[in-house]
Amino acid sequence: MVDVRFCPQAPNKDRARSVAFGQTPVIQTPKLGSRIMRYELADYEWTAIKPMLPNKPRGVPRVNDRRVLNGIFWVLRSGAPWRDLPEAFGPYTTCYNRFVRWRRAGVWSRIIHALAGAHDAGIQMIDTSIVRVHQHGACIKRNQCQSMGRSRGGLSSKIHAVVDRNGRPVRLALSPGEAHDVRLARKLLSRLQCGAMLLADRGYDADWIRELAMKKGAWANIPPKSNRIDPICFSPYLYRARNQVERFFNKIKHCRRVATRYDRLAANYLAFVQLASIRLWLRFNESAS
């Protein structure tokens, strides 16, 4: 609400009639108190993620972990360069070094694996999504080693994901953009449990994928390609639930550091994808509690 106050001033004949009585309207903006922005960790999110962070009993105490994480999530959500980090989060070098150091130590991977341990294994969905590589992220030799591929639209990367029936991420991987969807399917489906149902689009209609699911005691509900000769069992009704994996990609791409790849190193970009997935898990657990 805008606060309008009147400040007395000396009368002046040249002034408008609205201020002829010795009062001039002065518009003052209200003072904003401390509030949690959409990219900052809420109290319930910080309570859930704090025990999973590395413990440092010796040496110089670390800078406030919550403030540093809020700075990392600000970069994730806004897509801005690290140098543009607001001063409220401390030096940008502190947030960047913490992000890279914990990525090398496997902190982000351990957190997503710990949260994904509570997933629903009854239904598994696998799919991919292509992301364009920004020109600032392409300035590195041997782009093929950094999961960058050149196609008709330029340099791109591909996110591979396995989610459960609620669209919560279970496993994540990265490949060049021109790679086929099934390139990392064997790795991502290695933990498929007995009795589960696998949902995927026609790009995964391969005999070896169906055999892999059958060996693990699961059923692959994948629509057949137009050139398939042998008939297969497929349920269009159950296939409708596959939209959850599309929703997952839509949610993580709200984060601009995921929607466009600015990172030269594939490990850093995958870490941002993991951070966006961690945020989805934290919010889902809160809504389900």
pTM confidence score: 0.84
pLDDT tops 90 at residue 281: yes
**pLDDT at residue 33, rounded to an integer:** 42
**23 confidence band (pLDDT: 50, 70, 90):** low
CA end-to-end distance (rounded Å), the chain: 34
Q: What is the structure's pLDDT at 213? A: 93
Pure H helices in the chain: 43-49, 65-78, 92-104, 107-116, 185-188, 207-215, 236-239, 243-252, 256-259, 266-288
CATH number of 121-288: 3.30.420.10
Residues of the chain with CATH 3.30.420.10: 121-288
H helices within 1-120, ranges in order?
43-49, 65-78, 92-104, 107-116
Q: What is the pLDDT of residue 268?
A: 95
On whether the CB atoms of residues 180 and 200 are closer than 8 A, the answer is no
pLDDT score at 22: 52
Confidence band for 36, pLDDT divided at 50, 70 and 90: low
For residues 289 and 236, the model is more confident at 236
pLDDT at 18 over 90: no
Report the sign of the C-alpha dihedral through residues 95, 109, 268, 74, in that order.
negative
59 — pLDDT class (breaks 50, 70, 90): low
Parallel, antiparallel or unpaired: strands 23-28 and 149-151: unpaired
Percent of the chain with pLDDT over 70: 83
pLDDT at 31: 45
| Three-state DSSP state, 3 | strand
Euclidean distance between CA atoms 244 and 239, whole angstroms: 11
Q: What would the pLDDT profile of 60-100 be if each residue is shown by its tens digit?
A: 778 889 999 999 999 999 999 999 999 999 999 999 999 99
